[in-house]
Structure 1
Amino acid sequence: MTADSFAAPGPGTPEPGRPVKAATLAGAWRTFLVRRVAGLLVNLALLVLVTFLIVQLIPGDPATAIAGESATLDQVELVRTQLGLDQPLPVQLWTYVSGVVQGDFGDSYRYRQPAMDIVMTAVPYTLTITIAAVLLLLVLGIALGMAIGVATRGDRRRWLDLSFSVVTGIISSIPTYVLATGFVVVFAVLWRVLPPAYSPAYNIGAAAILPIASLSIGGICSVARIVRRETAVILEQDYMRSARGWRLPTLTLYVKHMLPNLLTTALTLSGIILTALLGSALITEAVFAWPGLGGVIVQAIAVDKDYPVIRAAVFVIGLISLVMTLIIDIILGLIDPRTLGGKRD
């Protein structure tokens, strides 16, 4: 039997001495991928249905909005016929699904351009601040939680533990738009060190600092609180006690032996936070006039009643969330194969 037949203690492995078969792990990955892809297809089908039905709940008539308030009833009906809004709901659904399968969400009622083209122009801006916020909250949240967990190990420095819990609890409970407004007042109005909103007159990197900070600071506090609790539990595990007994270097002790266990919890939490961040990003973009999906959706819903743009935007947001969640699940599987859900011998 080779040395590779045994799993070393740590995340993603069974108890010491239990053999792990490569074939079994490969089978777990196949099952995992089949299950995730099937789930992704089901969720995409539901997303298409939801994006079709969601516009039915929006008050107002797009035909009236396009024809104008001064239009006659006949003119409004003509616009409604041209848009296909006079068709029965099942017919509209079939037309919509047939187009979505081909990547066609229809033309914008206002701009007379493909709705997806309008949405995809704004997507890079939303992804820029959202992905940056997720990476920032993971790095800083894990680092802060680990540092506080190690510093307060064994009920040491209770004042630090209490202060950390109170401060992070308060910050994480503040709505994102309130933080965003506060940042504008402090950093743009009072101190005048950062631009208050996106504008071609400002450097895009400088303009992105406040939106990213607004999105990430609450998540940093949430992740740090969870990681701090997980750190306290892990530090009391037998393998960590043994590692301390061997007087391993600090970097080896905490980065090699403790961090992989924390990553499983942090990445799982980040998948939940990501979905919330996408929603918060839409509001934050409005505060900072950021040219992302938030402005596109608000304009399409509140002003234009632009159904194709609304559907395309909601679909893209849902698709981003599904894909990012799948990527996080795959990373979790690489870090800890037990999350694959497969059986081991």
Structure 2
Amino acid sequence: MPTGPGGPPIPADGPDIPDPGGGPRAASLAGAWRRFLLRRAAGLIVNVTLLVVVTFLIVQLIPGDPATAIAGENATLDQVEMVRTQLGLDQPIPVQFANYMMGVIQGDFGDSYRFRVPALDVVMAAVPYTLAITIPAVLLLLVVGIAVGMAVGVATRADRRRFLGTSFNVVTGFISSVPVYVQATALVVIFAVWLRALPPAYSQAYDLSQAAILPVLSLTLGGACAVARVVRREAAVILEQDYMRTARGWRLPSLALYAKHMLPNLLTTALTLSGIILTALLGSALITEAVFAWPGLGGVIVQAISIDKDYPVIRAAVFVIGVISLVITLVIDVILGIIDPRTLGD
């Protein structure tokens, strides 16, 4: 607990961190973690089960007939029916669902209609490319969003620098409202066409790290602005708390004042918001991949839906995206529990 020169100790933090003398005992905290993990495990099982059901039903809504797509436009009706029988599409829906469930339990989503290899292999080959742009985007939007939000919140404390606060709200609100594909297209025009500084799309002629810059940037901009706006509002509230006023009164160094006393209270809100943003980021990544011809899950799904009607690949891709989203949410919940144990009871 910091102390002022010749004065009483200053509270190290606000009400978000309980006093060590009155905090939960180790046994109680361990019990809270056990209950938390059990709840999350049960929820994960339920969500994965629902995801499997949805991945089966979703392909039934896709227009077109995969048997016709495979047999070809010039195929006869008998040839199309033969392909449908080979694929098992002539069986009743309940039978197809039962066979699908048995396969998923064994980690088998069936063979791709187009590539004649396990559908999960086709999807997993594209996953590293999607993660190569989403993981850097996630880290970047958190760092930039929190840093910018804190800086503007401190600079505009107590309604100071109104022009800066208004400009910040206008700019971040505008950027976060622009669709990802529009941002991606604008980045291509600026940096690839006008400036000729970066490659416009993925190609083996360019280094992978260079080709990933624009996709990562397009995924980062909107999320970073959304995080910055929320962090700035939270910072304005925290800065007016009594413990922050006392710390400013003792003229603590900026690093201790903001990084030690202010940042921990902002992380809970920022991480909670980022969980929502990160889940949406997966959907945005699929669109971004289409703009930049990135060989990730986006291209696999578009090809499987629009051209091949490749049901096994579609199901495997949707399932993998859903599992990644669930894992991200679980990791964020665990981090929140470490930062603020009170969230374990939520």
- Aligned partner (choices 88, 91, 102) of residue 98 of structure 1: 102
Of 131, 143, 146, which residue of structure 2 is paired with 1:142? 146
Q: CA deviation at 1:225?
A: 0.3
CA contact (8 A) 2:13 2:261 kept: no
Partner of 1:334: 338
Q: Are residue 167 (structure 1) and residue 171 (structure 2) matched? A: yes
CA distance in 1, matches of 2:182, 2:100: 38
1:317 paired residue number: 321
Query: CA contact under 8 A between 2:271 and 2:332: conserved in structure 1?
Result: yes
8 Å CA contact 2:103, 2:110 repeated in 1: yes
Alignment-derived partner of residue 191 in structure 1 = 195
Q: CA deviation at 1:77?
A: 0.6
Q: Which moved more, 1:238-247 or 1:46-55?
A: 238-247
Residue equivalent to 2:32: 28
Deviations 1:31-69 (A, max 9, x none): 000000100000000000000000000000000000011
Indicate which of 93, 103, 106 corresponds to 1:89.
93
Whether the 8 Å contact between 1:198 and 1:289 is mirrored in structure 2 is yes
Task: Give ranges in structure 1 of 5+ residues lacking alignment.
Answer: 1-6
Q: Which residue of 2 aligns with 1:76?
A: 80
In the superposition, the TM-score normalised over structure 2's length comes to 0.95
2:261 alignment partner, SS class: helix
Give the Cα–Cα distance (whole angstroms) in 1 for the partners of residues 219 and 304 of structure 2.
24
Pick the aligned partner of 1:231 from 214, 231, 235: 235
Q: What is the CA–CA distance in structure 2 between the aligned matches of 1:11 and 1:76, rounded to whole Å?
A: 68
Residue in structure 2 matching 1:202, options 199, 206, 219:
206
Task: Tell me how far apart the structure 2 counterparts of residues 330 and 261 of structure 1 sit (CA, whole Å).
Answer: 16
Alpha carbons 1:12, 1:337 under 8 Å: kept: no
Equivalent residues in 2 for 1:154-303, closer than 5 Å:
154-303=158-307
Aligned length: 336
Name the CA distance, whole Å, in 2 between partners of 1:10 and 1:325: 27
Q: Please tell me whether residue 120 in structure 1 is matched to residue 124 in structure 2.
A: yes
Partner of 1:110: 114
Cα distance change, pair 31–12 in 1 and its aligned pair in 2 (3 A): farther
For residue 308 of structure 1, give the secondary structure of its aligned residue in structure 2: helix
Distance 2:213 2:321 in 1: 22
Distance 2:23 2:50 in 1: 41
What pairs up with 1:43-58 in 2 under 5 angstroms? Answer: 43-58=47-62
The answer on whether the counterparts of 1:96 and 1:105 sit within 8 Å (CA) in structure 2 is: yes
Give the superposition deviation at 1:219: 0.6
Residues 9 and 16 in structure 1, CA contact (< 8 A), matched pair in contact too: no
Task: Give, in angstroms, the shift of residue 245 of structure 1.
Answer: 1.7
Kept after mapping to 2: 8 A contact 1:144/1:224:
yes
Aligned to 1:3: none
The one-letter code sitting in structure 1 at the alignment partner of 2:39 is R
**1:13 positional shift:** 3.2
CA contact (8 A) 2:199 2:206 kept: yes
Cα 1:310/1:251, change in 2 over 3 Å: same
Deviation string 1:134-191 (CA, Å, 9 cap, x unpaired) is 1100000000000000000011101100010011111110000000001111110111
Match of 1:131 among 117, 135, 160: 135
Identity %: 77
